[in-house]
Amino acid sequence: MSYLDTYNFWRTDAFFDADTKAELEAIKDDPKEIEDRFYKDLEFGTAGFRGVLGAGTNRMNVYIVAKASAGLAQYIISCGTEAMNRGVVICYDSRHFSPEFAEVTATTLAAYGIKVKLSDELRPVPVCSYSIRYFNAFAGVMITASHNPSKYNGYKVYGEDGGQVPPEAADIILKSIQAITDIRTIRNMPLSEAMSSGLVVKYGEEVDAAYTEMLSKLVIDQESINRQADMSIVYTPLHGSGNKPVRRILDRVGFKNIHIVEEQEKPDGSFPTVSVPNPENPEALSMAIELAKKVDASLVFGTDPDSDRIGVAAKTVVNGEVTYKCFTGNQMGLLLLDYILDSKKRLGTLPENSFAVTTVVSTKLAKSVCDAFGVELQETLTGFKFIGERIKLDDEQGNKHFQFGFEESYGYLSGVEVRDKDAVVAAMLICGMAAQSFDMGETLVDRLERVYAKYGYGFEKAVSFTLEGKEGIEKIGASMSSMRAELESAKNLGDAASLIGGPAVVAVRDYQKSVKYEFTADGVKTSPITLPKSNVLLYELGGDKGIDWACARPSGTEPKLKIYFGIYDKDRGTAEARLGQVCDQMSTFVKGKLGI
């Protein structure tokens, strides 16, 4: 069918509910809106999908959730009776329709004979991941759109190890979804029937207690926490799922002076107090910082709706005035990496064959930290599923010991019982690190400066360009194709100088083609890249420490083209100035490619 035929089918067929039909009837004179809603199916990527709420095949709604669940069911059935009996864990966050989507997922799976453990209330990503391992489930589903605006929701699929489903399984699930040509044939059953038959069982407090106990064993320096138990801390859940688990673990390890931003405490999918519930944005912490000033808090942090990301600010004094510094994701990752390795080294708890994991667009200073403690640093593509994969291969199945993983987008993980980024364990570690710093007579701001003094100054930045709709997606794709074509036409170092609009390029890693290009005055040398294929171009820029870089990649979850930068120097001012210059030059270049 054409997209117009599909639109009319959804608008008129008796299978669809009255609200869906009314929503579609209201756009009958808007051809562009009809096209955007129906020109394609919402794309199921390597771990699921995310989209705008609404009626249509390119929107998040109960019908698309049912179709995805039916495809997942077919995959599980193909894996045998044991997989069906081990079943699926389902969790959801505070977004609009998250409980409804979770129920549809559960009742669809149950209708195909697959057992389900359904969370009895909203719970975050890390608890979903932990629950899969706790119940020895075959798979998991998390209903969330993470830090996206309130008009979004999403559907993330996890494998039996608690990590996001691997590409091979995702491909099979996608093919099963695509094989469903008539949405009216999808099975379902009432929740009451599914529960009475034992196919759906709700769970909750038992796992909460086990998860909290597991986290408490990951404390690094309990003595410092004991001495600084009254440290004043402000926390905001940003209307999401982090409120209960974060407060439980902080209380469990001994922090006694926690202040919650009341206006942002309760779950609310509209996120009424913030423009976007993303702790990467300093403005998302503005209410928390105002409360911190009133209660003289030393530390401020906030978690996003599914509590897999955390943003942090710390009290400091600038020119005699108390203020709060917001840390970037890279800065906090660097601090936590140094804190964990340094503390364990001093306490004698850092094992041989230890390793840490970060991503190709995260700070390059992580290598210097790991080298200082004799720890291997592994780099993966962007996405925590790759970090979870390294834990499985090298810790669970190998003879190495995972210590810490992080990515620049405010995601952190310690321990091996969760296989996705975990803002709950990060909150515990950050508070513990602040307690240790106070014990040493410094703030977290002082600590960061000490880390820079030891390893060199490094500053990173990310810029995003959002282009909604079909036209926007096409522009993003065309811009990446154009940059790739210019790369392939560059014959030497002179040609490479203009590849990103100004900064001199010495090498480029094309992860989609799995090729690294190294430029000299005389030509180009190519070598293979062994990481999985991904639509990423990383430009090596040299610099004082030889590790400056810039990167372009389309977001895997939002209609954005993202560009990243990292500049490193022994001198702070030089690094900051060069970062601004490179960012301005490449941003102007990319805007030209996008036509904005």
d(CA 182, CA 99) in angstroms, rounded, equals 25
| Beta strands at 548-554 and 560-569: parallel, antiparallel or unpaired | antiparallel
Provide the pLDDT for residue 280. 93
In the chain the domains, ranked by start, together with CATH numbers, are: 40-203 (3.40.120.10), 211-329 (3.40.120.10), 330-455 (3.40.120.10), 458-594 (3.30.310)
Of 283, 324, 131, which is closest to residue 214 (Cα–Cα)?
A: 131
Low-confidence ranges of the chain (pLDDT < 70): 46
Beta carbons within 8 Å of 448's beta carbon, 6+ residues apart: 327, 331, 334, 335
Of 362, 361, 358, which is closest to residue 375 (Cα–Cα)?
A: 358
d(CA 336, CA 18) in angstroms, rounded, equals 52
d(CA 575, CA 583) in angstroms, rounded, equals 12
Provide the pLDDT for residue 46. 67
Provide the pLDDT for residue 47. 77
Beta carbons within 8 Å of 464's beta carbon, 6+ residues apart: 555, 560, 561, 562, 563
Tokens 């710390």 belong to 314
Provide the pLDDT for residue 168. 87
Angle at Cα 438 formed by Cα 432 and Cα 440, nearest 5°?
110
Provide, rounded to the nearest whole percent, the portion of the chain with pLDDT above 70: 100
Q: What are the pLDDT digits (tens) for 9-56? A: 999 999 999 999 999 999 999 999 999 999 999 988 767 999 999 999
Beta carbons within 8 Å of 475's beta carbon, 6+ residues apart: 467, 594, 595
The set of catalytic residues is: 146
| Residue type (1 letter), 548 | D
Beta carbons within 8 Å of 458's beta carbon, 6+ residues apart: 330, 334, 363, 364, 365, 452, 566, 567, 568, 575
d(CA 437, CA 265) in angstroms, rounded, equals 28
Q: What are the pLDDT digits (tens) for 419-458? A: 999 999 999 999 999 999 999 999 999 999 999 999 999 9
Sign, Cα dihedral of 590, 592, 594, 596: positive
Helices (H), 418-468: 423-439, 444-455
Provide the pLDDT for residue 177. 95
Provide the pLDDT for residue 95. 98
